[in-house]
Amino acid sequence: MPLLVTIGLEVHAQLNTDTKMFCACRTSFGDDPNTNTCPVCLGYPGALPVLNKLAIEKTLLTGLALGCGSPEFSRWDRKNYFYPDMPKNYQTTQMDFPLCLGGGVPLFDDCYPTDARKSIKTPNKIVRLNRIHLEEDVAKSTHLATTSLIDFNRAGTPLMEIVTEPDLESAEEAFAYLRSLQLVLQECDTSGADLEKGNLRCDVNISLREKESDPLGAKVELKNLNSFSAIRRSIYYEIERQTEELGMGIAQIQSTRRWNDELGETQMMRTKEDAHDYRYFPCPDLLPIATAPLLEIVRPLVPEPRLSKISRYQNDFGLTTYDASVLTADRHLATFFEETNTPEIPAKKTANFIINNLLGTLNEQSITIADCPVPPKKLRDLLSLVENGTLAPNQAKEVFTVLFSSPQREVKAIADEMGFKPTSAGELDSLVDQIIAENPEEVAAVKAGNEKLINFLTGKVMKSAPTKPNPKQVTDLLRARLL
């Protein structure tokens, strides 16, 4: 009988702020080590912290977007431990009165791994949150063979810790949760939420038990997970390891293990501490804060929920679920679509060009939609030429290639330069009549039912035309003459 798997996640998300949580040092990264520091983030005795209001507002905004509540007052606590990355020997965090309580993260279907989307166990699942609290990050440790290097540039960076209830049941759900949460954080613009860049970090808690009525098994926490692939693989490994040991009668103990990506296995770090081991107590240097005034500041900033936006795109614009999901997976992409869209052009055509052509070009050039050189207005001008019959879809792709490399140019000028000019009705009629007269055998075959030869005749007209007319217009004229 397979064992039941229970998974909870603790996600640390660095907030998008210019300064640190309790001091005015910059949060920029890539600078020389230990240059963005001061007595506060270095833990000098007597240095007093000052709260970063923007970090608190961004945390509350995240909470509202995820349906969290907030206590009337939120308090700061000291979490005591000794380690080189925290020289004052405690971390300023929140224990009993965090900024956000409850709420949940919806698991979007397109956030599951591609190979798991056809077998989602619980569609539209919402993973309950226990809390979101705000704390300071620690320094960055680099461990060498016989020594360790410490860079305090990161120490003191505002960090949200987003803690789930034990609601997840598989590696696939954990993957979907992280991807879904990432989209919400990016939509709120509260965190870059990039796992690979380190501004989103994840600890996975896994326990196994025989049946639902049993108490949760011993919790094993996995550390050092820095990619979606590593998270999925580590969960697979740990479930297999615990299942094998429990089957051998080896009881599991509450512990912390690191993931070794090269070996593809988890390794013991230490037995896990409980809350009382950290000796939490209220921070004497910071007063509690009233949350109500701050909530009123950020409430108007809560973005439209993604599921609502998907539904709106389907209902208002007639898009498919797939198109709506792609366009809402990035807030910059959704904004680009809405600024390009116009009643004169069917929204489906706009969505198709963005998804099939614009995104493809951006991927080839390794450019994000936020840095797209072509503004929405220029793309709208291009699609208008398709809609009024000046350009065929394939011709529009050619024009777009030039526009992408020269976005300052006018779309019509590019099309004219490439020869994509409308041919007068009389001139086009004359060309069609000429080609019909010059190709009697093909014309007879078309009239006899071989409609494929119309494409041959269209090509003849296109070659004879002084400009490059829309092939569809030519084909329509030939059909009108011959069928």
| Residue spans per domain, the chain | 4-298, 304-417, 425-482
Q: Which residues contact 123 (CB under 8 A, 6 or more apart)?
A: 109
- Look at the alpha carbons of 455, 461, 462, 468 in this order and tell me if their dihedral is positive or negative: negative
Share of the chain above pLDDT 70, in %: 97
pLDDT digits (tens, 9 = 90+) for 130-157: 999 999 999 999 989 999 999 999 999 9
What is the pLDDT, as a whole number, of residue 406?
96
pLDDT greater than 90 at residue 307: yes
Query: Looking at the predicted structure, is the pLDDT value of residue 472 above 90?
Result: no
Lowest mean pLDDT among 8-12, 84-88, 295-299, 325-329: 84-88
Res 224: pLDDT: 74
Q: Is a pLDDT exceeding 90 seen at residue 411?
A: yes
Q: How confident is the model at residue 428 (pLDDT cuts 50, 70, 90)?
A: confident
Position 469 pLDDT exceeds 80: no
Q: Which residue has the tokens 């077998």?
A: 119
Confidence tier at 435 by pLDDT (50, 70, 90): confident
Residue type, 460: K
Is 90 exceeded by the pLDDT of residue 52? yes
Q: Yes or no: say if 361 and 404 are a contact pair by the CB < 8 Å rule.
A: yes
Tell me the average pLDDT of the chain: 92
Average pLDDT over residues 471-479: 77
Percent of the chain with pLDDT over 90: 76
Question: What average pLDDT does range 410-414 have in this prediction?
Answer: 95
Q: What is the pLDDT of residue 470?
A: 74
What's residue 169's pLDDT? 96
Grade residue 28 by pLDDT with cuts at 50, 70 and 90. Answer: confident
**What is d(CA 284, CA 275) in angstroms, rounded to the nearest whole number?**
19
pLDDT value at residue 143: 87
Higher-pLDDT residue of 356 and 435 is 356
Q: Measuring CA to CA, which residue among 342, 351, 356 is closest to residue 319?
A: 351
CA gap 132, 56 in Å, rounded = 11
pLDDT at residue number 447: 80
Does 338 score more than 90 pLDDT?
yes
Mean pLDDT value of segment 238-265: 93
What was the pLDDT predicted at 98? 98
Which of left, alpha, beta for 279 (phi over 0: left; psi -120 to 50: alpha)? left
When mean pLDDT is compared across 43-47, 312-316, 450-454, the lowest value belongs to: 450-454
Overall CATH class of domain 425-482: mainly alpha
Which residue reads 């051998």 in tokens? Answer: 248
Q: What is the mean pLDDT of residues 79-99?
A: 93
